[in-house]
Structure 1
């Protein structure tokens, strides 16, 4: 994973911030809202990286901002308000992570299956599953191209999944230093520890992440794929499922493709196993598919809706995130469940 950091708050806004800060300390909730609104998206993305769940990120950010509002009198201005808010948010996420545990994908639970599993593949409710992240939650057009690139790189599925293998303190140190650009001394203050401990945590975290994240990020891959070609890949993949066309699907996949479907525990690796699953289940046993293109975790994605027939309503089924290698799909991660659709602003059904 390349090292990247997001820019600090525009200094031109600092005068207005100082005025609002004084008002907020006097109990003006509107002033506090004006202070935190420009930072909400980046703070929310930080919560997602820490916790691996959009819903947990929602709860953690709400709790953290409440803590910040109640503790604003303790903010002495020794650091920027942004830095102080990241301290509050990070500590809140560490509390949540300690109580809820790390998020997982099916590949973390056991070996792949070499053929379609039709029985004994019920959803596992006792596993905290990693979830997808809507790109719309990232900072918008006010960020320059390089910043938008870095924001997407920092929420890529492989990176967020790798973070879940780190203890909370290592996860926080890595994100604050490598992603957000805080110094080791600032991180030590945030985490109530020493710079030596921070540097040690960083070294261990980088080693684990390097073992689990591909050397080439999805943003690097996608920059070399023409936008028109990318839209074509997504459309052809969705059409293959909708038309029950196994040959068209296989033509889009790498030989070592993987397909996983949290919260289902079984997953498939290799073109033969993936093809067998596709033919046995989504291409033949699912009566009718419809889709809406979207994007998640800085990657192309497809929202799929399943219906009993082509003419009836189709209900929200899964958000499938595509990972590319070159111009072929190397990983399919289908996050099953209608609860994933709301954060993406997608309807619960297509009629």
Structure 2
């Protein structure tokens, strides 16, 4: 048995026991109710499950991404970062004490690499607006309008850019909207704006997108179909909506399902609509295991549909799409259209 196999077996067979031990160690001497203890054990079990999934995928980046997301969530609830680091350190200590040496080494490698990511010293933050290129001024003005709740100014800016300045909708989506929303997320995670401001930015952007639909949806006959779905109960489904819109503008018949779609419904729609391509979006690392489950089930139940994946976990780990069983990956919607066309042509 390899180190990877023994590590996976140890973690998955003992995840409840490990979780209970490290929670009791961390809560020792604290006045926690039993119900709060059980919630902590549940959360610790999920952390172990995510670690095992990352090890199975051989993706350190996936676990790093999950821990970064968890750290941001905990900060949002007012928890000090040291609690998460202590929790992860207790996990390593327990594994090294009670399990085989090779298991301990692998767990230590993954966990301490993730701790280093959430606990950097002296790293300068980089704004996502640096990725806007020639549209940096538009993006900056749009960002400020969203943060300051100036909806009419935000709408006027974008409609003017498209209608009078000839900014293409593809550039609007990829260079401006995507980077501004990433920046909004970064500002929220660092608690520089509140969750209401983050939601407002998303709603206004969706509203503007709906105002552009007369430019996107036409009556032209289209011979290829694609379907776009978010993995699980993603809150950030605007990205896959942009992907579907850009497919539509490139002469594809797009079907946007959004988020919170049960697996059986996804399969049912695939069988009913029969798209050539399914685009799956996972914006955070902890959605990757669900992505694997969906792809496996689809390949068992249906045939003929190519599956492409996108989202930050796949952008961060270029080989992850192969390990989840997809047929391809692209970092943005324009690239996804080109990839989809190539996959369809390969079938002909």
TM-score w.r.t. the length of structure 2 is 0.30
TM-score w.r.t. the length of structure 1 is 0.30
Larger proportion of strand: 1
Higher RCO (CA 8 Å, separation ≥ 6 residues): 1
